[in-house]
Structure 1
Amino acid sequence: MLDYKLLDALAAVVEQGGFERGARALGLTQSAVSQRVKLLEARLGQPVLLRGSPPGPTAVGRRLLNHVQQVRLLEHDLGTQVPSLGETGAHRLRVALNADSLATWWAEAVAPFCEAGRVLLELVIEDQDVGLKRMRAGDVAGCVCAEPTPVAGAASVALGAMRYLGVASPAFVARHFEGGVTAERLYHAPAVIFGSDDRLQHRFAARLGVADGFVHHTVPSSEGFVRMLESGLGWGLVPALQIRQALERGALVEICPGEAVDVPLYWHYWRQGGVLIDELTARLTHGASRHLV
């Protein structure tokens, strides 16, 4: 039989990004958490953690973490059916999603679900192209990402596509794209990207014959990203949902009208996640259909 105190220690270390923060989350000493992880490894006869910074799960550790996520969801369902178990408080749900979804449609879609189910969200922000790694590592109950194929034990459902427009301020366009956008001008005009995993600008530039290597700012904030563009510091790809008003008031303009990039988004969740995850899935598919392409 699995000892869930040991599994909780493993999950806390991975989810919190270290032994010290994991111990704090569990209300234990760092030494106690370390001993629990070592005991788990001793019982299994193999390591469950890669001692890096931050620590990461081994292949066996990932399978255990996937199991923990599903057990937590099922325990919530059981607690609502058998109140004497004491599972009557708010349930914390750890979900990975991209910053642009958080900045646009996500909150409106999940608000009724959180209110009705007394759910507290712990959101992990990852680029839509790499968010599935959180599911694979077993440290989230679900994720929104651009990958359609689920990991083992999970399922995925298409939410729609986020439409991105290439935009910049009128002043930036006048300085760098007078006479229109060309591959050479786009290569030398500073871009704005979200982070190292953000390849949207590269995809957009490739359509116009621009290879990797163009100059760019890095801004890991959806709001800061738009502010940089409005200030005339660069061009970039932004969700049409996020900049509707900026386009209407002329703070931003499309640098290549009609050249949109549609990024499909998928919701990934554990198949054995129970009623709670099924309800969230229903809310997300309904809510996303009102905003995504």
Structure 2
Amino acid sequence: MDSAQLETFAAVVREGSFDAAARALSLTPSAVSQRIKALEQAAGQVLVRRAKPCRATEAGEPLLRLAGQLALLEREALDTARGGGGADWTRVPIVVNADSLATWFLPALAALPPGLRLLFDVHQDDQEYTADLLRGGTAMAAVTAQHVPVQGCRVQRLGTMHYVAVASPALRAAWFADGVTEQALAAAPMLVLNRRDQLQHRFLRTVTRRRLDPPVHYVPAVGAFNEAIRLGLGWGMAPERFCGDDLAAGRYEQLTPGRRVSVPLYWQHWRLESAALTALTGAVRAVAATALD
């Protein structure tokens, strides 16, 4: 397949539009459009969903993954041919769940040797959905709750992140004075990261064996989510290993000491013999070994 057409296809999806891809590639929008049409004719399928932003169609997803793999291998081959002195950076798109990104994941990236010249394009999504970006070709590696490997990927167990239900002392006293009962859980305000976040609802089912519908605050950033707990806006699930300071200082109290929700995490990445992926995988596994159970 024409590598220039694949590169252009990847740029359209990455940048979100034909015009933005043209600017990124220093081409005219007409040249971008012609390359995409030629690639679609060769594939016999519509590959780009022309919306805002542009997305790969289901038929385009394997070609998007191929474009990223070829670009990575080409950069590494050129670097090797130059004796390791290449000036090009390698862009590495990764998708990570919010709590891992806010706690243990970034030190893994910082631990990589600067000589690798890696540029990270980090996406965030719920751990139940991060593998979708691998499947769609947008990311080359993911921290995910899915243990079944995506086609063309390898999977390795990282460990388990345990969550506990916490609240401010004031909120606990106001809503749970008579205990953590089904009635109290149904009435007390609850904090949720976003509409894909099901941790709090999983906790409710483990306690009550029922699906409850309490009032919900949506707070879509981990730092703000934790601050909302401290301020008493609602109760929420916090990573057990990373909320010790708040518990010790009395800013948090556990609703049900000894009860937790466990989320196994896995590392999935493209099945490629790539120096960048090998180094990244080693760093992620090393940090996860100390940060997760």
Class of the TM-score when normalised by the shorter of the 2 chains: over 0.9
Aligned to 2:287: 287
Deviation at 1:275, TM superposition (A): 2.0
Is 1:103–1:242's contact at 8 Å kept on the other side of the alignment? no
Comparing 114-123 with 195-204, greater Cα deviation is found at 114-123
Written as runs of structure 1 = structure 2, the 5 A alignment for 1:138-177 is 138-177=137-176
Count matched residues. Answer: 292
Aligned to 1:230: 230
Is 2:89–2:119's contact at 8 Å kept on the other side of the alignment? yes
Comparing 271-280 with 12-21, greater Cα deviation is found at 12-21
Instruction: Indicate how the Cα distance of structure 1 residues 159 and 71 shifts in structure 2: closer, same or farther if over 3 A, else same.
Output: same
Aligned to 2:269: 269
State the AA in 2 paired with 1:135.
L
Cα distance in 2, alignment partners of residues 269 and 52 from structure 1: 28
Cα distance in 2, alignment partners of residues 31 and 114 from structure 1: 40
State the AA in 2 paired with 1:81.
T
State the AA in 2 paired with 1:133.
D
Deviation at 1:257, TM superposition (A): 0.8
In structure 1, the residue corresponding to 2:111 is in which secondary structure? helix
Q: Does 1:216 align with 2:179?
A: no
Comparing 271-280 with 14-23, greater Cα deviation is found at 14-23
The TM-score normalised by the length of structure 1 is 0.93
Aligned to 2:205: 206
Instruction: Indicate how the Cα distance of structure 1 residues 29 and 126 shifts in structure 2: closer, same or farther if over 3 A, else same.
Output: farther
Comparing 186-195 with 114-123, greater Cα deviation is found at 114-123
Deviation at 1:91, TM superposition (A): 1.6
In structure 2, the residue corresponding to 1:113 is in which secondary structure? coil
The TM-score normalised by the length of structure 2 is 0.93
Deviation at 1:86, TM superposition (A): 8.1
CA root-mean-square deviation: 1.8
Deviation at 1:59, TM superposition (A): 2.8
Deviation sequence 1:61-93 (CA, Å, 0-9, x none) = 111111122222222321331117984322211
Deviation at 1:24, TM superposition (A): 3.4
Cα distance in 2, alignment partners of residues 215 and 240 from structure 1: 24
Comparing 234-243 with 182-191, greater Cα deviation is found at 234-243
Aligned to 1:91: 90
In structure 2, the residue corresponding to 1:23 is in which secondary structure? helix
What 5-or-longer segments of structure 2 have no aligned partner?
Answer: none
Aligned to 1:73: 72
Is 2:161–2:292's contact at 8 Å kept on the other side of the alignment? yes
Aligned to 1:250: 250
In structure 2, the residue corresponding to 1:124 is in which secondary structure? strand
State the AA in 2 paired with 1:279.
A
Cα distance in 1, alignment partners of residues 256 and 53 from structure 2: 41
State the AA in 2 paired with 1:268.
Q
Overall identity of the aligned pairs, in %: 37
Is 1:148–1:156's contact at 8 Å kept on the other side of the alignment? yes
Deviation at 1:12, TM superposition (A): 1.6
State the AA in 2 paired with 1:270.
W
In structure 2, the residue corresponding to 1:143 is in which secondary structure? strand
In structure 2, the residue corresponding to 1:162 is in which secondary structure? strand
Aligned to 1:16: 15
Aligned to 2:195: 196
Q: Does 1:181 align with 2:174?
A: no
State the AA in 2 paired with 1:26.
L
Deviation sequence 1:124-144 (CA, Å, 0-9, x none) = 111111001100110111111
In structure 2, the residue corresponding to 1:290 is in which secondary structure? helix
Cα distance in 2, alignment partners of residues 106 and 273 from structure 1: 23
Cα distance in 1, alignment partners of residues 90 and 158 from structure 2: 24
State the AA in 1 paired with 2:134.
M
In structure 1, the residue corresponding to 2:24 is in which secondary structure? helix
Instruction: Indicate how the Cα distance of structure 1 residues 160 and 214 shifts in structure 2: closer, same or farther if over 3 A, else same.
Output: same
